[in-house]
């Protein structure tokens, strides 16, 4: 009873602060609404699972109530580990496999939950201090253990297959540790379900809360982790509509570059794109290459364009780009108005402070050695 209460209190002390933190610091997160929903759902499931698990194993109710909380804890666990593994695959995998993984979890999880309510699958043994649950239905027992092991194996498979997609390897190691904790947690849960040993129950709950604490640290220290882990910006270039390079930044080297470093063929190609698209309604916005995307954004009011070389175009990059252009226009409005006329002499030194805007808005994408 005392041990279970301690775990419940710790879970609440972890979950409530992180939800409040995300609300108060929502501007740090690129997709605020989705991130808040996922964070709230994750920690709501955390608290609900711990409470139902403790109530079913450490508080002595009659058999019917004990079974209700035990069933609820299993349903919550099925849903939570499926959600976590689906998000994991969605982040790391680029192909349609990630959709298949999520569908498989939903389909098999639905079957298990149906079996749980269709017939009596557990026999409850109530003692003076706790409750033990013995599987009566071999089909459900095999299905539940297999389901948890399947999620664990697919998580490992995703981690191995998707590791090459991780841009920042330092961030990748952090992500690996999170995945290892997740798999270890699943393994201990399976072993406890089979043995019902008190020590394993305590170990499982301890690892469970360590994982939740690790997530808490990640959300606070790495708010951009899920946004940028498989994406990277290589080059960021600003061109005037005349084809003159206004500014260039190398994200991997974390430094400004100049026109002499850029190949002449690239400059000619960009000039051609600008001449053909900057004043048109139907503009070319992305050029697909084998392993990179070239994003093009135009500002007709001030007559310039951005060229950004990335791993792949996504909503987060687009949003950050629009934020950059808005701030760039505000800071350099006088200079941009002066060079709007093609006959006006352009002094590119006026845009040297652009790196400060880049480091403010695109900080998660600047390569950390």
| Residue that the structure tokens 């194996």 belong to | 153
Beta bridge partners of 250: 235, 255
Q: Just give the CATH number of 2-228.
A: 1.20.1070.10
233-365: CATH topology: Beta-Lactamase (3.30.450)
Assign 300 a pLDDT band (cuts: 50, 70, 90): confident
Model confidence at 57: pLDDT above 80: yes
Better pLDDT: 127 or 123: 123
| Residue that the structure tokens 């041990």 belong to | 3
Q: Give CA–CA dist 28/16, Å, rounded.
A: 19
Residue 14 near residue 43, CB atoms below 8 Å: yes
The pLDDT value given to residue 350 = 82
Query: Are 2-228 and 233-365 in the same CATH fold?
Result: no
What is the pLDDT of the chain when averaged over all its residues? 81
Residues 6+ apart with CB under 8 A from 296: 273, 277, 283, 284, 285, 286, 287, 305, 306, 307, 308
Assign 369 a pLDDT band (cuts: 50, 70, 90): very low
**Helix axis angle, 169-195 to 198-221, nearest 10°:** 160
Percent of all residues in the chain with a pLDDT value above 90, rounded to a whole number = 20
Q: 111-125, 258-272, 339-353: lowest mean pLDDT where?
A: 258-272
The domain segmentation of the chain, as residue ranges, is 2-228, 233-365
E-only strand ranges, 158-252 = 233-240, 245-250
Mean pLDDT (whole number) for 180-194: 93
Q: Give CA–CA dist 79/151, Å, rounded.
A: 11
Model confidence at 286: pLDDT above 80: no
Q: 27-36, 198-207, 344-353: lowest mean pLDDT where?
A: 27-36
Mean pLDDT (whole number) for 264-292: 59
Alpha-carbon dihedral of residues 346, 350, 352, 355, nearest 10 degrees? -100
């Amino acid at each position: 009873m005392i041990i279970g209460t301690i775990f419940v209190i710790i879970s609440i002390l972890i979950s409530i602060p992180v939800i409040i933190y995300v609300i108060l610091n929502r501007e740090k997160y690129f997709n605020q609404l989705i991130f808040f929903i996922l964070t709230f759902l994750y920690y709501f499931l955390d608290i609900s699972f711990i409470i139902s698990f403790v109530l079913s194993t450490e508080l002595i109710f009659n058999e019917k109530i004990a079974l209700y909380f035990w069933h609820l804890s299993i349903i919550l666990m099925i849903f939570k580990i499926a959600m976590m593994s689906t998000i994991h695959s969605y982040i790391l995998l680029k192909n349609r496999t990630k959709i298949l993984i999520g569908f498989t979890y939903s389909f098999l999880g639905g079957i298990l939950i149906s079996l749980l309510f269709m017939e009596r699958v557990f026999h409850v043994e109530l003692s003076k201090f706790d409750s033990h649950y013995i599987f009566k239905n071999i089909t459900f027992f095999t299905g539940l253990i297999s389901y948890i092991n399947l999620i664990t194996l697919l998580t490992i498979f995703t981690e191995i297959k998707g590791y090459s997609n991780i841009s920042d390897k330092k961030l990748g190691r952090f992500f690996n540790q999170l995945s290892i904790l997740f798999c270890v947690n699943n393994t201990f849960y399976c072993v406890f379900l089979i043995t019902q040993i008190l020590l394993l129950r305590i170990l499982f709950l301890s690892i469970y809360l360590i994982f939740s604490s690790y997530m808490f640290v990640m959300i606070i220290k790495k708010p951009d982790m899920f946004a940028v882990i498989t994406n990277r910006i290589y080059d960021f270039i600003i061109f005037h509509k005349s084809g003159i390079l206004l500014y260039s930044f190398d994200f991997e080297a974390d430094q400004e570059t100049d026109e002499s470093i850029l190949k002449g063929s690239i400059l000619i190609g960009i000039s051609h794109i600008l001449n053909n698209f900057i004043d048109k309604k139907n503009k070319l916005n992305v050029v697909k290459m084998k392993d990179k995307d070239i994003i093009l954004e135009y500002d007709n009011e001030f007559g310039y364009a951005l060229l950004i070389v990335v791993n792949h175009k996504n909503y987060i990059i687009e949003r950050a780009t629009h934020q950059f252009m808005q701030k760039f226009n505000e800071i350099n409005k006088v200079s941009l108005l002066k060079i709007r006329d093609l006959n006006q002499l352009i002094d590119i030194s006026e845009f040297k402070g652009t790196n400060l805007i880049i480091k403010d808005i695109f900080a998660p994408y600047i390569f950390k050695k």
